[in-house]
Amino acid sequence: MSKPPSVPGQRSRSASSAALLGSALEWYDFTLYGTAAALVFNKIIFPTGDPVVGTLAAFGTYAVGFLARPLGAAFFGALGDRVGRRRVLVLTLLLMGGATAAMGLIPSYETAGLWAPILLIALRLVQGFGAGAEFGGAAVLAVEHAKPHRRGLQGSWPAVGVFLGLVTASATFTLLTRLPAEAFLTWGWRVPFLASVVVVAVALVLRLRLPETPDFAKLQQTARVETAPLRTAVRDYRRPLLVVFGTQMGQSAISYVYLTFVTAYLAQNLEMGSSVGPLATTFAAIVSLATMPLFAALSDRVGRRPVILFGALFSAAFAFPFFMLTDTRTTAGATIAVIVAVGVGSAAMIGPQGAYFSELFPARVRLSGFTVSREVASALSGGISPLIAVALVAASGGSSWPVSMLVIAFAALSVVTLLFVGKETAPARTGETGDAAPTPSAAASSLPEEVR
């Protein structure tokens, strides 16, 4: 094996690649599950005879994975603040990838009876537990290897990985849904789950070659590694925890309505076919691969808060036009709706997130504070928002307006949090300068005492 990168610029690029690929795997896994919940699991794992009940059951297990994520965030976040970022990200990668590949081997309900949903739920719990610290850990890894004036851009690579995973998973399912229905439900849907082992192997090599981040190495050298980082974060950094929580609640709920619920809505409520949703999300994710780094780089110039605020306000304004477009029952209308909603609103909210959430905390509690608050919010909003949306549409007799109101409510939560609780952290706005070794904690130290 070649030597790990030693030049600072090379380390930063390697960290970005490691962060991007690991995050891509995480969201490849979760997108596969979300799409399969809408198109497959409601038929072969939870067959009830009622498509709405089957979909609710499938999305219920989708939520189970999100409920496991805070536990994984607490465990791996604290571990990462004690033993280092790199080691923890190797463990989370193996857990996520292993669980996803095993899902491709699950028997149907017809073959195994109750063991089929039991196995699926168990693997979903393992997958969620491993994913709990993946996004936050990857973001911290990238940000701590970055120069101060490029943290926004460098911290966006895990977010880019999210949409790279979405592109890969959605494109794969789009192709596979064109198989004959029997072939797709028998073996076709299993192929992308089993294929995740390839991404695991590549990402694992990158992470094993990467040195520890400068920030954590400095903590070790000065004997300032926190022995109980999660407890310290909860005790001393409540305001940053609240900022992450409130901001993430809105972003997660909105994204999962547009990226997961819409597949079931198009296929079942609008009867447009099972390939339209994956096709629309694929194009939206492709667009987001370009827009997210742009929004993140913009946050290096104008600040994190203005960019994220724009994304939340845009999402609220587009909530009703989104369904006006999808309800035309045309592939073009649905595709444009998802592209605009995700490529503009969601991209602006998530692009600067890696840098913003990292900069809110000092290095000694950064991974714990970032991951736990973010994943608790994701479990409460993103994990259940598709389930709530399905129930709202069913309760309203197929109408979409309650889902638009749901999106507006969650967007408002993010706006209120950023305006009244959030503080700016970007070096360009706080006065931090220099291109020396990255120290994101400097941004946190520039905040008021109650934040620090």
Among 59-68, 75-84, 360-369, the range scoring the smallest mean pLDDT is 59-68
Q: What is the pLDDT of residue 140?
A: 94
| Per-residue model confidence (pLDDT) at position 77 | 95
| pLDDT, position 157 | 93
Locate 203 and state its tokens: 């990402």
> Does the pLDDT of residue 444 top 70, yes or no?
no
Query: Is 448's pLDDT higher than 60?
Result: no
- Residue 47: per-residue pLDDT: 65
Picking from 438, 298, 442, the residue whose alpha carbon sits closest to that of residue 16 is 438
User: For 23-32, 75-84, 88-97, 341-350, which range has the lowest pLDDT when averaged over its residues?
Assistant: 23-32
For residue 143, what pLDDT is reported?
A: 94
Alpha carbons within 13 A on the beta-carbon side of 158: 28
Phi/psi at 449 (5° precision):
-60, -35
pLDDT at 207: 85
Give residue 315's pLDDT. 97
CA 329 to chain centre: 29
- Count other Cβ atoms within 10 Å, centred on residue 419: 11
Segment 161-174 mean pLDDT? 81
**Segment 54-60 mean pLDDT:** 64
Percentage of the residues of the chain whose pLDDT score is greater than 90:
44
Give 336-351 pLDDT, tens digit per residue: 999 999 999 999 999 9
* Average pLDDT estimate for 222-240: 94
Place of tokens 């072969």: 44
Cα torsion 272, 277, 279, 283 to 10°: value is 130
Would you state the pLDDT for residue 203? 83
Using alpha carbons, list the distances in angstroms from residue 204 to 87, 152, 182, 211, 380.
11, 25, 35, 13, 30
Average pLDDT over residues 428-434: 65
Radius of gyration over every alpha carbon of the chain, rounded to an integer in angstroms:
21
Residue 436 confidence (pLDDT): 35
> Which pTM was predicted?
0.83
CB 362 within 8 A of CB 452: yes
**Angle formed by the axes of helices 8-36 and 276-302, nearest 10°:** 150
Q: Kindly report the length of the chain.
A: 452
Task: Give the pLDDT of residue 450.
Answer: 38
Q: What number is the average pLDDT over the span 305-330?
A: 96
pLDDT, tens digit, for every residue of 378-409?
Answer: 888 876 888 889 889 988 888 899 999 999 99
pLDDT surpasses 70 at 441: no
Mean pLDDT (whole number) for 86-100: 89
Please give the pLDDT value at position 445: 45
* Burial grade of 83 (CB within 10 A; 0-12, 13-18, 19 or more): middle
Confidence check: pLDDT of 442 > 50: no
Mark 108-135 as b/e (b = at least 16 C-beta within 10 Å). bbeeeeeebbebbeebbbbbbbbbbbbb
CB neighbours of residue 71 within 10 Å: 16
- Tell me the per-residue pLDDT of 108-139, one tens digit each, with 9 for 90 and over: 877 887 788 788 888 888 888 988 888 899 99
Rounded (5°) CA angle 59-65-68:
145
The pLDDT tens digits of the residues spanning 100-115 come to: 889 888 888 778 877 8
Q: Report the alpha-carbon distance of residue 11 to residue 3 in Å, rounded.
A: 12
3-state secondary structure of 227: coil
Burial (CB count <10 Å: 0-12, 13-18, 19+), residue 9? exposed
Q: Which helix (H) or strand (E) holds 81?
A: helix 51-83
- The CA distances from residue 293 to 40, 150, 158, 352, in Å, are 33, 11, 10, 8
Per-residue pLDDT, averaged over 200-219, amounts to 87
Among 28-37, 342-351, 359-368, whose mean pLDDT is lowest? 28-37
- Nearest CA among 134, 132, 169 for reference residue 378: 132
Section 260-269 average pLDDT: 85
Is 11-430+437-445 a CATH 3.40.50.2300 domain? no
| 24-33, 67-76, 268-277, 302-311: which is most confident | 302-311
As a whole number, the mean pLDDT across the chain is 85
pLDDT of 252 reads 93
Residue type, 39: L
The torsion defined by the Cα of 357, 367, 253 and 257, in degrees rounded to 10, comes to 110
- pLDDT exceeds 70 at position 176: yes
Q: Residue 72: what pLDDT? A: 93
| pLDDT value for 29 | 78
pLDDT of residue 54: 60
Q: Is 23 a residue whose pLDDT tops 90? A: no
pLDDT of residue 435: 38
